């Protein structure tokens, strides 16, 4: 690969033009690695990660950590917090702390499931609409507009009521409400990517439209969709709890945060019944939002480009 | 490959970006297509490979009519016609490894059977890049290197025609020379045709065997490069040549051509160039000149070449 | 000779890097521009030519530091209070960029863009400002100036837009105009018009122009003196005719050989091997030595100083392989 061995000091003559950046690429990679790492030093992201880790730990270890069975109603009803029941007991005489711990095994995994499902449905629909355009675009986007026209929670209530109240149906109802957001984002991403010259190049090679979408476009859209999904987990927790609060999700006696808050609302004088699950929802939602915001800043193409353009 | 003739009209407001162009690229030949921005040369390039539909005329590649790309994959016969794009940053997929992108050309276009990795290494070597580039992503390369990668990808399809649309315009001067030389060498060695599109007449002169000059959707002059350069038969070609600044330190200012390229949606009457032409006379504003054969492969669309009209 | 409008002495621009040590994007360059003179800064991307211009305007990226001096009319711009620099910027010195679409405000009429600027700096009345705007548009040869005043940037072609941008830059009768790749985005025929306009402004108004471009053809047409930069340092400088006609630095020579020359033969282009170093990856010694066909062992160790060749030219190459070479320029038919 050497063209002309004139150089002293053992510097090989690089092949072709402009090899300098090429030779330095390991250096740039290292630098970029540190840059994407730097957001983690931001306090908000750290708080988010710590809180999420805390709740995941609780969810996994609930059977061992919880002092009592969450469904056992053997205790005095509406007892204020004391050393035996740190968070008191609820209207049916169950230990609030234990129910709270078991509740995290419902809310967080279901929220993740909900986001995964709507991301899958939304991305597929959005990609089809964006890439094929014309009537496919028309149909998908009109349905999306229709969904957007209703207040989300009301539509979800109607759907959940129609399916019959249960946690599974609540998740399905919320998928119906949330997929259009992903469809819109993915559609606009694909619309702008579709015109890229690398797509033309792939088509000229003989790549079919479907293959181009899956092989060439998908990896380019995936990053931003993942960020959006991470941002939405907090929102999903809130929506699911909301449906359960309204009695359309988790059914008694299952320990679920929304349902627990609802119990708290019925026993308003015993603040501990509703306040602790409410706090749990608050912390989870905030934590995911902090994390999502940081991820978005870190992965935003404009921010990344700005960082990269720095020497 | 014979007879690439395009006539077409752009949809929408019916802008005739390319308004009747005849162009032929033979195997082993480099045809340069020159013109200012907005003259339709890029649209013509896209029409030639089927990236935009034509509204009239016909494009043929090795006898096969070129059909615009739709939902289906491109006909196998047409995959031997490849393109190198202007922007080396958007023409490579940022999220796929170089090797995978080149491999697409091998499997999809060339129907290659055999040791793909060896073939990819061979292609990278052809464009003077190290073979371990296959494992890397586009962002690790500079503009000139990316353009080489794009060329390697096009070569993977074993093309008999490569359309290079402003392929070197975005590069630094020394990288321009290197990529231009590479394209010329490959054309000669692999016996392919090359349609080299550029706004830079000086570089086309160095590269092309035959030059066609486009103005506002039409070819106004075509012929062997040296002849066109030394003795332009159309005032527009002459103006383009005069406007090229010469890097010799003489301090000579390039010749000014007043006015701008008109809106292709409303081309001037008669000769499209007449409002800017320093040599316009009687018939120019009224009647559009036809392409005149001037002998030795040259042709131009200008009334000045028509003795009968000039004499009148 | 009159006192220079701009006098740059041993300018260094240091950019912060992730690794801690600041990297010199501009590494000790000196040159000056006299009234009515056009000086060109030439070099490939990354040679530090744009950083030099930004330093002059106090518009360097965040965290950049400067050393040396940058005197405008005798006053050092680098140490000047921000307020005073703001007064100079746009008034006594102004800038024209490569892409007029980004330097003009897309939502304001041409009249607003010119007069706003004018009234901010000179405090003249609306009517006087409008008259001056008309005069400026005429000066940059825009057909139908009165109608142009009410138009928006997107209504113009690239060449006309660049003329408007020049009119905006000229509004306060600056003494120095800095043009950063002013014609790179334009077609050759349009470029010719802009080059003629800049040349006329210099002759008629005594405007000093610092033109920054990688295009040696543009340089040759316009500049009186040229400064060739490589990796943040001066490779050679001197009168344009001498530097481009008989280059002494291997880099200048390489650049010229890589260019198609309309009046020399159609021989193959000779690219320079290798590529310009990235910031932070600069080779030791002479930054050009890995790409230089004349490099000797010493080149990798000692950084060459810019030494005067005569009272007008200077060169940073101790090898000086073209000292006795005949001039390049061969005019006439091929």
- Low-confidence winner among A181-185, A240-244, B82-86, C181-185 (lowest mean pLDDT): C181-185
The reply to whether A72 touches chain C by the CB within 8 Å rule is no
Q: Which chains touch B (3 or more CB pairs under 8 A)?
A: A, C
| Residue of C222, C241, C255 lying closest to B174 (CB–CB) | C255
pLDDT at A85: 83
With CA atoms as reference, report the closest residue to B99 among B141, B136, B127, B145.
B136
Q: Which H helix or E strand runs over C160?
A: helix C158-170
Q: What is the dihedral of CA B213, B219, B225, B227, to 10 degrees?
A: -110
Interval C131-151 mean pLDDT: 86
**Which residues in chain C have Cβ-Cβ distances shorter than 8 Å to B206?**
260, 266, 268-269
Interval C2-27 mean pLDDT: 82
**Which residues in chain C have Cβ-Cβ distances shorter than 8 Å to B245?**
191-192, 195, 215, 217-218, 220-221
Q: What is the dihedral of CA C181, C187, C190, C195, to 10 degrees?
A: 30
User: Which carries the bigger pLDDT value, residue C307 or residue B8?
Assistant: C307
**Which residues in chain B have Cβ-Cβ distances shorter than 8 Å to A205?**
74, 79, 82, 104-105, 108-109, 153, 157
The reply to whether A299 touches chain B by the CB within 8 Å rule is no
pLDDT at B209: 92
Q: Which residue has the tokens 């002293």?
A: A8
Q: How far apart are the first and last CA of chain B?
A: 42
Answer whether C114's CB lies under 8 Å from C171's CB.
yes
Interval B125-143 mean pLDDT: 88
With CA atoms as reference, report the closest residue to C67 among C273, C232, C183.
C232
pLDDT digits (tens, 9 = 90+) for B253-290: 888 787 777 777 778 888 888 888 888 888 888 888 88
| Residue of A22, A207, A219 lying closest to B141 (CB–CB) | A22
Q: How far apart are the first and last CA of chain A?
A: 29
pLDDT digits (tens, 9 = 90+) for B177-192: 889 999 999 999 998 9
pLDDT at C20: 62
What letters, b where the CB count within 10 A reaches 16 and e where it falls short, cover B58-70? Answer: ebebeeeebeebe
Answer whether C225's CB lies under 8 Å from C242's CB.
no
Task: Say if residue B276 is preceded by a cis peptide, omega within 30 of 0.
Answer: no
Q: Mark out the alpha helices in chain A (DSSP H runs).
A: 20-23, 25-37, 43-65, 96-132, 134-149, 152-163, 167-194, 197-204, 209-211, 218-245, 257-266, 271-299, 301-309
**Which residues in chain C have Cβ-Cβ distances shorter than 8 Å to B129?**
none
C114-173 residues touching B, CB cutoff 8 A? 157-160
With CA atoms as reference, report the closest residue to A109 among A227, A226, A240.
A240
Backbone angles phi, psi at B11, to 5 degrees: -70, 180
Read off the tokens for A308: 């990269």
With CA atoms as reference, report the closest residue to B151 among B142, B162, B140, B141.
B162
The reply to whether A201 touches chain B by the CB within 8 Å rule is yes
- Give the number of other Cβ atoms within 10 Å of residue A283's Cβ: 16
> Do residue A20 and residue C277 have CB atoms under 8 angstroms apart?
yes
Q: Which H helix or E strand runs over B223?
A: strand B218-224
Read off the tokens for B160: 């008999």
Distance, in angstroms, between C255 CA and closest chain A CA? Answer: 13
**Radius of gyration, CA atoms only, chain B:** 20
Look at residue C176 and give its three-state secondary structure: strand
> Do residue A311 and residue C283 have CB atoms under 8 angstroms apart?
no
Read off the tokens for B30: 């480099």
DSSP string, A111-176: HHHHHHHHHHHHHHHHHHHHHH-HHHHHHHHHHHHHHHHS-HHHHHHHHHHHH-SSHHHHHHHHHH
Distance, in angstroms, between A49 CA and closest chain B CA? Answer: 28
The reply to whether A4 touches chain C by the CB within 8 Å rule is yes
Distance separating alpha carbons of residues B137 and B121, to the nearest angstrom: 15
**Which residues in chain C have Cβ-Cβ distances shorter than 8 Å to A3?**
273
pLDDT at A18: 35
**Radius of gyration, CA atoms only, chain A:** 26
DSSP string, B38-64: TSSHHHHHHHHHTSS--SBS-BEETTE
Distance separating alpha carbons of residues C168 and A206, to the nearest angstrom: 50
ipTM of the complex: 0.85
- Compute the count of residue pairs across chains B and C with CB atoms less than 8 Å apart: 153
Q: What is the pTM of this model?
A: 0.80
**Which residues in chain A have Cβ-Cβ distances shorter than 8 Å to C287?**
none
| Residue of C274, C279, C280 lying closest to A14 (CB–CB) | C274
pLDDT at C161: 86
> Do residue C261 and residue B246 have CB atoms under 8 angstroms apart?
yes
Nearest CA in chain A to B46: A200
**Which residues in chain C have Cβ-Cβ distances shorter than 8 Å to A306?**
none
CA distances from B71 to A191, A203, A211, A289, B93 (A): 15, 10, 11, 40, 20
pLDDT of C247 above 50: yes
Distance separating alpha carbons of residues C265 and C334, to the nearest angstrom: 6
Interval A38-56 mean pLDDT: 79
pLDDT digits (tens, 9 = 90+) for A149-180: 888 888 888 988 898 888 889 999 999 999 99
pLDDT class of A303 with cuts at 50, 70, 90: very low
Q: How far apart are the first and last CA of chain C?
A: 40
pLDDT of B215 above 70: yes
- Compute the count of residue pairs across chains A and B with CB atoms less than 8 Å apart: 116
C265 burial type by CB count under 10 A (0-12 exposed, 13-18 middle, 19+ buried): exposed
> Do residue B250 and residue C189 have CB atoms under 8 angstroms apart?
no
Distance, in angstroms, between A15 CA and closest chain B CA? Answer: 6
Distance separating alpha carbons of residues C73 and C175, to the nearest angstrom: 9
C32-71 residues touching A, CB cutoff 8 A? 61
Interval A258-278 mean pLDDT: 88
Distance separating alpha carbons of residues B257 and B235, to the nearest angstrom: 10
pLDDT digits (tens, 9 = 90+) for C248-297: 999 998 888 888 766 655 566 788 887 778 777 788 888 898 888 888 88
Relative orientation angle of helices A134-149 and A167-194, to the nearest 10 degrees: 140
User: Which carries the bigger pLDDT value, residue B152 or residue A133?
Assistant: B152
């Amino acid at each position: 690969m050497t063209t002309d061995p004139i150089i002293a000091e053992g510097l090989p003559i690089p092949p072709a033009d402009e090899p300098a950046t090429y030779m330095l690429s390991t250096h740039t990679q290292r630098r970029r690695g540190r840059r994407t790492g730097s957001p983690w030093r931001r306090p908000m992201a750290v708080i988010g990660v710590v809180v999420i880790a805390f709740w995941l730990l609780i969810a996994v270890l609930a059977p061992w950590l919880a002092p009592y069975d969450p469904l056992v109603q053997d205790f005095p009803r509406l007892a204020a917090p004391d050393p035996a029941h740190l968070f008191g007991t609820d209207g049916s005489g169950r230990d609030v702390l234990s129910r709270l711990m078991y509740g995290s095994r419902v809310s967080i995994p279901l929220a993740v499931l909900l986001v995964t499902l709507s991301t899958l449905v939304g991305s597929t629909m959005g990609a089809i609409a964006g890439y094929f355009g014309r009537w496919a675009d028309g149909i998908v986007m009109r349905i999306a507009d229709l969904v957007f026209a209703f207040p989300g929670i009301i539509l979800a209530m109607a759907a959940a009521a129609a399916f019959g109240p249960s946690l599974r149906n609540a998740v399905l109802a919320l998928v119906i409400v949330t997929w259009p957001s992903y469809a819109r984002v993915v559609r606009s991403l694909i619309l702008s990517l579709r015109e890229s010259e690398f797509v033309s190049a792939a088509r000229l090679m003989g790549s079919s439209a479907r293959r181009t979408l899956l092989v060439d476009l998908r990896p380019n859209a995936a990053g931003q969709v993942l960020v959006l999904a991470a941002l939405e987990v907090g929102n999903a927790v809130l929506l699911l709890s909301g449906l359960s609060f309204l009695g359309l999700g988790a059914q008694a006696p299952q320990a679920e945060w929304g349902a627990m808050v609802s119990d708290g609302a019925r026993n308003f004088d015993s603040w501990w019944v509703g306040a602790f699950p409410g706090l749990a929802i608050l912390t989870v939602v905030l934590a995911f939002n902090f994390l999502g915001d940081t991820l978005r800043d870190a992965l935003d193409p404009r921010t990344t480009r700005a960082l990269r353009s720095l020497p | 490959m014979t007879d690439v003739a395009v006539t077409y009209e752009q949809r929408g407001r019916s802008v005739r970006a390319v308004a009747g162009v005849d162009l032929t690229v033979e195997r082993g030949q480099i045809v340069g297509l020159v013109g200012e921005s907005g003259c339709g040369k890029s649209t013509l390039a896209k029409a030639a490979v089927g990236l935009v539909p034509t509204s009239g005329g016909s494009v043929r590649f090795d006898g096969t009519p070129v059909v615009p790309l739709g939902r289906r994959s491109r006909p196998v016969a047409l995959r031997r016609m490849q393109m190198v794009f202007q922007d080396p940053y958007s023409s490579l997929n940022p999220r796929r490894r170089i090797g995978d992108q080149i491999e697409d050309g091998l499997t999809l276009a060339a129907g290659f059977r055999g040791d793909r990795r060896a073939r990819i290494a061979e292609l990278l070597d052809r464009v003077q890049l190290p073979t371990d580039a296959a494992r890397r992503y586009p962002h690790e390369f500079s503009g000139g290197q990316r353009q080489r990668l794009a060329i390697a990808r096009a070569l993977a399809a074993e093309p008999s025609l490569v359309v290079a649309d402003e392929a070197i315009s975005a590069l630094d001067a020394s990288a321009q020379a290197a990529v231009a030389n590479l394209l010329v060498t490959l054309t000669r060695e692999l016996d392919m045709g090359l349609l080299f599109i550029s706004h830079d007449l000086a570089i086309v002169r160095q590269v092309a065997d035959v030059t066609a000059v486009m103005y506002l959707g039409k070819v106004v002059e075509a012929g062997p490069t040296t002849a066109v350069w030394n003795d332009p038969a159309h005032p527009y070609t002459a103006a383009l040549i005069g406007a090229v600044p010469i890097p010799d330190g003489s301090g000579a200012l390039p010749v000014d051509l007043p006015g701008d390229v008109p809106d292709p949606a409303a081309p001037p009457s008669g000769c499209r160039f007449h409002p800017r032409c320093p040599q316009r006379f009687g018939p120019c504003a009224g009647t559009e000149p036809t392409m005149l054969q001037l002998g030795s492969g040259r042709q131009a669309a200008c009334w000045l070449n028509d003795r009968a009209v000039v004499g009148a | 000779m009159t006192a220079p409008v701009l006098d740059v002495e041993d300018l260094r621009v240091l950019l912060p890097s992730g690794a801690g040590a600041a990297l010199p994007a501009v590494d000790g360059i000196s040159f000056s521009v006299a009234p009515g003179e056009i000086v060109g800064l030439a070099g490939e991307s990354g040679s530090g030519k744009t950083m030099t211009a930004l330093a002059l305007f106090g518009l360097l990226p965040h965290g950049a530091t400067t050393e040396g001096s940058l005197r405008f009319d005798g006053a050092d711009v680098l140490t000047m209070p921000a307020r005073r620099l703001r007064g100079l910027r746009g008034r006594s010195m102004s800038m024209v960029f490569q892409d007029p679409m980004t330097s003009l405000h897309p939502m304001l009429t041409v009249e607003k863009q010119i007069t706003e600027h004018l009234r901010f700096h000179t405090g003249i009345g609306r009517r006087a400002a409008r008259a001056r705007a008309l005069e400026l548009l005429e000066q940059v040869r825009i057909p139908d100036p009165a109608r142009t005043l009410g138009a928006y940037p997107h209504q113009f072609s690239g060449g006309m837009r660049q003329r408007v941008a020049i009119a905006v830059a000229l509004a306060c009768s600056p003494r120095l105009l800095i043009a950063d790749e002013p014609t790179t985005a334009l077609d050759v025929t349009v470029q010719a018009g802009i080059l003629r306009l800049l040349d006329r402004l210099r002759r008629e108004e005594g405007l000093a122009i610092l033109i920054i471009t990688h295009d040696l053809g543009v340089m040759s047409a316009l500049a009186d003196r040229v400064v060739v930069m490589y990796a943040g340092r001066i490779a050679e400088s001197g009168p344009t005719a001498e530097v481009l006609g008989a280059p002494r630095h291997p880099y200048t020579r390489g650049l010229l050989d890589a260019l198609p020359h309309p009046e020399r033969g159609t021989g193959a282009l000779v690219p320079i091997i290798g590529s310009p170093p990235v910031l932070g990856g600069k080779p030791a010694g002479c930054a050009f030595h890995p790409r230089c066909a004349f490099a000797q062992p010493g080149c990798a160790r000692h950084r060459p100083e810019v030494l005067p060749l005569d009272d007008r030219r200077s060169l940073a190459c101790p090898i000086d392989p073209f000292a006795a070479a005949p001039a390049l320029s061969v005019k006439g038919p091929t």
